[in-house]
Structure 1
Amino acid sequence: MIKLVVGLGNPGRQYEKTRHNAGFLFVDYLARECGVAFTEVARFFGEVAECKVASEKLLLLKPATFMNRSGQSVGALLKYYKLQPEQLLVVHDELDFNPGVVKLKKDGGHAGHNGLRDIIAHLGTKDFYRLRLGIGRPPAGKAVAEFVLSAPSRQESDLLDAAIKTGLDFVPQLAAGEIDAVMNRINA
């Protein structure tokens, strides 16, 4: 049963519409669907919202620590609410999938994603769920950092929105604990 949804991204207007902020975009859409707003909470080093989905309380988090230090924020919130890593869903951009692709997985490495790397380091485990939103790979000659910190094309943005909407459709099942069913459908 998922109790906390963390969207990964970087704070600040200059990063708002970048590929790397796909996770922030996801939790912003979810908060809007729930009719709730984020509030800055210093002890969690980020913005937090609380909503009800499928009759379950769901916490939403946008770390304000920048991507590379996301674990500080996630770890603080998990500890405060006494949540287990397997109750955590981290939503992030995924280079290995084309724009529009969305997949759910548990465990695994960080695959070079610095936000995931820091969360794994802070929690001391890989035992949490990840909703991976495809952004594709940079074109030849363009550095990965430059690519993820730039805005997607209009077509890529539309595909990312579609992937987010697909992921949002499964949030009630994730909150209700139907994780295997979601994995079977979303990864098919």
Structure 2
Amino acid sequence: MRLIAGLGNPGTDYALTRHNVGWDVIDCLVNRLRAGEPSTKFGGACWGPLNVGGERVVFLKPYTYMNNSGVAVGEIARFYKIEPRNILVVVDDINLPLGRMRIRSKGSAGGHNGLKSVIAHLNSGDFPRLRLGVDPCPPRYDMAAWVTGRFSADDRRVIDRSIEKASAFCLEWCSSDAEKLMNRVNSCDVRSVNGEA
């Protein structure tokens, strides 16, 4: 069994912000799969298990707020006995330009509080993570205001393409792994004509 968790914050104040692109990817995925209404028994919106590519997959949007995302991820992982290597976490990344994304099979939090919480509650960093670029915080701009801010109209069009592409990569991951997807994901740039760098 596998788990795909998109990190974000609940509430209308955070909807469609940079910090919520992980949630947006999950929304795109469950819409593609026509998954219906979620349950909320694991501290978040939860769909599944669904059959995707021959694997049973659970989709999660934690309601525990970004800095405590690991609470919900850990709870559902323990309930279904899902190993960290079978958990894909989708997050925003201020170190990547808009339109780019990166996938890794394991690693550190890289300064991302949501990933830090997931690592703490899984007691492991050995889980794949898919990062979507949202652009660095501008000089002399408050970091919290940047990540909880919304995109301009032009940037919204770019991030929407990133979300679509990321959701396709997530579906591929269900029957593959991060290592096999790495070259294509890490060279993807949705701002280019063909989506490749």
TM-score, scaled relative to structure 1: 0.93
Higher mean C-alpha deviation, range 71-80 or range 136-145 = 136-145
Aligned length: 186
Indicate the residue corresponding to 2:101 in structure 1. 102
Measured after TM superposition, the shift of residue 18 of structure 1 is 0.7
Structure 2: which 5+ residue stretches go unaligned? 188-197
Aligned mates of 2:85, 2:134 — CA distance in 1: 25
CA distance in structure 1 between the partners assigned to 2:144 and 2:114 by the alignment: 13
Whether the 8 Å contact between 2:39 and 2:47 is mirrored in structure 1 is no
Report the counterpart of residue 156 of structure 2 in structure 1: 157
Find out whether 1:87 has 2:86 as its counterpart.
yes
Work out the CA distance in 1 between the residues paired with 2:5 and 2:61: 6
Q: Output the CA distance in 2 between the equivalents of 1:9 and 1:16.
A: 9
8 A Cα contact 1:34 1:52, kept in partner? no
Cα distance, 1:124 vs structure 2: 1.1
In the TM superposition, residue 38 of structure 1 has moved relative to its aligned partner by 4.1
2:125 aligns with 126
Task: Please list, as runs of the form range in 1=range in 2, the aligned pairs for 1:1-188 lying within 5 A after superposition.
Answer: 3-42=2-41, 44-50=42-48, 51-188=50-187
Q: CA deviation at 1:160?
A: 1.1
SS in structure 2 opposite 1:185? helix
User: 1:113 and 1:99, CA in 2 relative to 1: closer, same or farther beyond 3 A?
Assistant: same
Deviations 1:53-87 (A, max 9, x none): 22322110010100011111000000000000000
Within 2, Cα distance between the matches of 1:127 and 1:169?
Answer: 22
Is the Cα–Cα contact under 8 Å of residues 92 and 133 in structure 1 kept in the other structure? yes
CA distance in 2, matches of 1:39, 1:79: 19
- Comparing 164-173 and 101-110, the one that deviates more: 164-173
Distance 1:91 1:168 in 2: 10
- Cα distance in 2, alignment partners of residues 169 and 52 from structure 1: 15
In structure 2, distance between residues paired with 1:119 and 1:178? 19
RMSD of aligned alpha carbons: 1.4
